[in-house]
Amino acid sequence: MASPPLAGLRILEMAGIGPGPFCGMMLADHGAEVIRVERPGASGLTEAARDPLLRSRRTIMLDLKKPEAIAAVRRIAATCDGLIEGFRPGVM
């Protein structure tokens, strides 16, 4: 069996709504490793079992208001091939 077309691609997804989760789902469905970063208190970890848009990816929860969480995201991003974020300009 041939490997998926995006096997070996690693993507960091900053949790949000709208086209971001859909993009992450499509990339994961085609073989990319997608790592989703959720905010504490977000329902993503519990919703993952029920929401088809959250399938096929790993999810981590980080409080991005803390410097150590920002440092962790930067370390992960350094190992990734792409970033998905759908925030308004200046938020990221």
Residue 82 · residue 13 · CB < 8 Å:
no
Q: What's the sign of the alpha-carbon dihedral 42, 17, 76, 58?
A: positive
Write down the pLDDT at residue 60. 92
Superfamily of domain 10-84: Crotonobetainyl-coa:carnitine coa-transferase; domain 1 (3.40.50.10540)
Query: CA-CA distance, 80 to 65, in Å (whole number)?
Result: 22
pTM to 2 decimals? 0.85
Residue 38 · residue 45 · CB < 8 Å:
yes
What percentage of the chain's residues is helix, strand, coil (to nearest 5)?
A: 35, 20, 50
- Where in the chain are the domains? 10-84
* pLDDT tens string 11-57: 999 988 788 889 999 999 999 999 999 988 765 555 555 678 888 88
**Nearest Cα residue to 18 out of 91, 72, 87:** 87
Token couple for 71: 């440092």
Write down the pLDDT at residue 48. 56
